[in-house]
Structure 1
Amino acid sequence: MTLAGKRIVLIIAGGIAAYKSLDLIRRLRERGAKVTPIMTRAAQEFVTPLAVGALSASHVYLDLFCREDEQDVGHIRLARDCDLVLVAPATADLMAKIAHGLADDLPSAVLLASDRPILIAPAMNPKMWDNAATRRNVATLKGDGITMIGPMAGEMAESGERGVGRMAEPLEIVAAVEDLLSGPKPLAGLKAVVTSGPTHEPIDPVRYIANRSSGKQGHAIAAALARLGAEVTLVSGPVTIADPAGVQVLHVERAEEMRDAVIANLPADIAVMVAAVADWRVASGSDQKIKKQPGEAPPPLMLTENPDILKTVGHHAKRPRLVVGFAAETQNVEENGRAKLERKGADLIVANDVSPQTGVMGGDRNRVQLITRDGVEAWPDLSKEDVAERLALWIAMQMAGAPA
């Protein structure tokens, strides 16, 4: 477990994003962390101490002047008896208190008294985030050595509101916690290129050939490699998910653009080709929308083969030390994966069944087989984030020369 034995004080401030703190507690505990929650008075209007206590299996601290908690100067003990203080969500109000050294309630007193690393995950309306006062406070907090994750762009709780202000997702916060508390990073100094998502091959200005890839698995792998210290370039086809933090992202549309972007980023130490690249493109697309003619058959589409990006990388003069490919299959998964391993010049093929009934394409979970020349390792059904974490660790062991 990546956070086994780590003690985290979690301060929950008052905002609608407080509901995410419940999942955050679960994610931290899944990784072995001990979570001690502190709630502001406003936070209790959004989630209950009962729910927070049940999920954390810990006493929930609420009041600076609680006789029982403060008989041994509890706010000082909380501030020091931990490995990290995490604030999620961090409201504009609480951030202002931290920036100005106020300590008029238990959360702010703990933050002022702590000599441990502090990580905050801001969450507020975009107008509040863009306010000049908040920007000054953010600069002060960063100058004081406080680490920040987010906020992210997206829909707000308010109807019709969109912009930067969403709290980072629980798994993103967990990754930031792991990053702060981790020791030496096994992939530090290494360069990785990852592809993700589908490609869109134009038929005319309106239509294109594509597939159902969401990019979730590739983006998660890019983020996991970055957390282990790699310098990651992610070449992404058209997706609707956010760019992962800590990663350089190049956005492309077509397979030829993806190939060119990958080659331009060689040499690299690691290549992980996750993208579901369209096998074919229209040989000669139309500059104008192809119109349907009543009573006439549709015009034929002449297709030509797209570049094979994995094979190109696997046989390139600047071939990375480790080349990983993905095989999305609907039948004979292992057999097709083995054939792809040899044909493409890869070191590892991550094969999975993407039949419609599996829900893998566009879904949040995956069941993969790792196919190398030495054999096959089948992994259980996992979230795509967990697949990414395990694969990144597998890659790190390979790069270190250790058995996987």
Structure 2
Amino acid sequence: MSLDAAITRAHREEWARVVAALNRRFGDLDVAEEAAAEAFAVAVERWPVDGVPPNPGAWLTTTANRKAIDRIRRESKRDDKHKEAQVFDHDDPPEPTGAIDDDRLRLIFTCCHPALAMETRIALTLRMVGGLSMPEIARAFLVQETAMGQRITRAKSKIKAARIPYRVPAAEDLPGRVSGVLAVLFLIFNEGYLATGPDTDPVRHDLTAEAIRLTRLIRALLPDDGETAGLLALMLLTEARRTARVSPGGELVTLAEQDRGAWDPALIAEGHRLVRERLAARVAPGRYQILAAINAVHTSARDVRDTDWSQVVALYDQLVRIDPSPIVTLNRAVAVAELDGPDVALATVDRLAARLADYHAFHATRADLLRRLGRSQESRAAYDKAIELAGNTAETAYLTRRRDQLG
């Protein structure tokens, strides 16, 4: 019997029996029919490779049972998601759209409720609206996945217990919520700019494009907000380098090694214009404005050797005063290495060891500094640790090549 004939005969003889058996077991004809259809689709895909099984009917019944169970589990999770969404509803009548026309941006502003701590509202919004998984959110905050899950669970419990009214904010409420919204969009953009997990593309243009789109909308809503302009400039100047960041072979290309002719000149021009506008405002800059200015220095240099590293370090000095986080200190050390040498930078980096022990970029930075100092054995160990912690496939490929080039 030919393969096509075997599948056709199995379909004719087994379809009704499989559907009836599943319907008896699960009590849902729709589930039974869809699971049976999925099982036959798998047969069409698998049997040409694996051969027709000795008992096609039993094979189809087993496969359909698994498909039905998977579907029921998915539906159960969907119900859980609906219940989560109801936390934000409280059976209130639909709210007017208010000042925000975009559905997704309106929901982000709604979820960034000031009654929650800033980190909590950001994490919760990333989970409920931002499209990031729990592991991605945990990596963004440099915490364990279980700890982040507990934080989000506590936030939901607080919302439910206190019956926090999640309503669409009015125009006058937007300035009080915008910092949380910008933080959410910044983290979404970062996940797209360099994905943290091994199971996605290294660069996710869908996330970066959506973050830029929503930030543009906020800019239109709050044209005088300096940090919104700064974040938009930062995103544009970073996105301008996207096509040069990963080689055709799938390896990360560092800023120093990128083909600057492949950068997007229109995005760079727009980003520089926004940076100049904020400088002309003569108002103390915030975090995103300073980061945008740093990127403006980098994208102004025709060659990495033309980079004004003293200006970059001076900008990081400003940033450290308002955001003395270990990540900012680590990034400043990279610039210091270019200005004052790798030995000076390494002393700063080593002081961060306790706080960034599980952060792959810490070990990658340290590995590069040790390499430049000729300490190959220590550099190799640092590269090994960075490779172990890195999730992004492009980054892993780059780090592996650098380690293997050591003498």
Smaller-chain TM-score bracket: under 0.3
Q: TM-score of the superposition, structure 2-length normalised?
A: 0.27
Higher helix share: 2
Q: TM-score of the superposition, structure 1-length normalised?
A: 0.27
Instruction: Tell which structure's C-alpha radius of gyration is larger.
Output: 2
